[in-house]
Amino acid sequence: MAVNSELKYAGAALSDGSEERIPYWHLDSGQPGDVFLVIAEQHGNEVQGCEVIRRFWRVCEEHLRAGQVYLVPFANPLALRHRRSHITLGPEQPYADAAGQNMNLNWPGDPEGHDTSRLCHALHDAVVRHCTRCLDLHSWSRFTATCTLVRADVPEAVALGEATAVRFQMMVPPFRRDPAEGTTIGSLFNDNGLAATCIELAPQWVIREKEVALGLRAATNIAKLLGMIDGDMEPLDGPAVTFDQSTRAERTHTVTAPCSGLFVENGLETSDYVEQGQSLGHIISDVDLSTVGIPAPVAGYLWQYGCHREHSDIALPPQHPYADEGDVLASVMPVE
């Protein structure tokens, strides 16, 4: 039986009286099964998931055989056009400065609230409330590895997380927040007998083929896990590195700058495997121009890589490779 694939719109009435029409795809196999939501770009600078969804739409059109799929590539079109995480953010302003209009703290939304909350409400009404499983696609900075965030207390969510076949899997606790203030989309599912998982496809601001491929594999694997698409899940090449958010620091071997200077990376990327003693790069000392090698302290996968400071996700100076003595240059997680 052919898949019924439709382009639809969730209409949000904005505070200025205009209507924002959020486009999404709805695919129906005509057979019973889960209703799987894949959503991206809640934060306007996190755009890798948008292309993941476009490709997954093609996969579903061809292969969906059970259940339904809702695909929302541009969850927050206002922030997309603003080219920043939230519509209220200005240059170099951290995400947390405008928490009120952080979309992923506003579910299920409010039709009388601020505009971001109105977008949530429109999507919740048209899409989210129909869904049983959710893959929520985000991005963080290039200095931290691509990672699946897994709600550790929800077995179905753990299964979704494993199916993403992403190297790093961070087990996270329930998100505690006054429900009246709104919550994350993942919590809407995981707190209500359903299941969701989230992937941070690093980095923000750009779309990279490798990350898109990871995201597509994750979405397709989840659909296979749920019996919506036939075939075996495509596994991760090598072991997953699963760790608890609360014990991350204990699992991580951090490399700091032994002196000040410019950190020159060695062509590695986050998630790459390194051997103990392998060169991670070097520092050019700004004191005496000496070259100071930076070896990996332990064998494992690069959880962090590159000289950076706080807010490297929204500003350029914190991405500058000049390190003060003691700045973090990399961190490695061994496989347990």
To Zn ion, the closest distance from the beta carbon of 205 in angstroms equals: 12
The region of 36-44, 109-117, 146-154, 179-187 touching Zn ion under the rule CB under 5 A is 36-44
Distance between CA atoms of residues 121 and 185, nearest Å: 11
The dihedral through the CA atoms of 105, 109, 113, 116 has a sign that is positive
To Zn ion, the closest distance from the beta carbon of 127 in angstroms equals: 18
Give 178-197 as a DSSP string: -GGG-B-HHHHHHTTT-EEE
- Listed in sequence order, the DSSP H helices in the chain are 48-63, 77-82, 115-126, 155-163, 185-190, 209-225, 248-251
To Zn ion, the closest distance from the beta carbon of 87 in angstroms equals: 14
To Zn ion, the closest distance from the beta carbon of 43 in angstroms equals: 4
Q: Which of 34, 46, 115, 313 binds Zn ion (CB under 5 A)?
A: 46
* Position 38, amino acid: V
Parallel, antiparallel or unpaired: strands 261-265 and 279-284 = antiparallel
Residue 140 and residue 200 in contact, taking contact as beta carbons nearer than 8 Å: yes
Q: Which of 118, 138, 151, 308 binds Zn ion (CB under 5 A)?
A: 138
The region of 135-143, 176-184, 244-252, 294-302 touching Zn ion under the rule CB under 5 A is 135-143
Distance between CA atoms of residues 331 and 69, nearest Å: 38
The region of 134-142, 171-179, 218-226, 257-265 touching Zn ion under the rule CB under 5 A is 134-142
Interaction of residue 86 with Zn ion, rule CB under 5 A = no
Backbone angles phi, psi at 134, to 5 degrees: -140, 135
To Zn ion, the closest distance from the beta carbon of 138 in angstroms equals: 3
Residue 66 and residue 258 in contact, taking contact as beta carbons nearer than 8 Å: no
Number of residues lying near Zn ion (CB under 5 A): 3
The region of 39-47, 51-59, 246-254, 298-306 touching Zn ion under the rule CB under 5 A is 39-47
Residues in the chain: 336
The dihedral through the CA atoms of 255, 165, 311, 51 has a sign that is positive
The contact pattern for Zn ion, residues 51-70, with x = CB under 5 A and - = no contact, is --------------------
Question: How many Cβ atoms from other residues are within 10 Å of residue 16's Cβ?
Answer: 6
To Zn ion, the closest distance from the beta carbon of 66 in angstroms equals: 30
Interaction of residue 136 with Zn ion, rule CB under 5 A = no
Q: Rule CB under 5 A: which of 246-285 touch Zn ion?
A: none
Which is nearer to Zn ion, 76 or 331 (by Cβ)? 76
Interaction of residue 43 with Zn ion, rule CB under 5 A = yes
Mutual angle of helices 48-63 and 209-225, in 10-degree steps? 40
To Zn ion, the closest distance from the beta carbon of 45 in angstroms equals: 8
Token pair listed for 238: 């090598």
To Zn ion, the closest distance from the beta carbon of 243 in angstroms equals: 20
Query: Which helix (H) or strand (E) is 293 found in, with range?
Result: strand 291-295
Which is nearer to Zn ion, 204 or 304 (by Cβ)? 204
Q: Nearest-CB residue to Zn ion? A: 138
The region of 35-43, 151-159, 241-249, 279-287 touching Zn ion under the rule CB under 5 A is 35-43
Which is nearer to Zn ion, 68 or 183 (by Cβ)? 183
Which residues contact Zn ion by CB under 5 A?
43, 46, 138
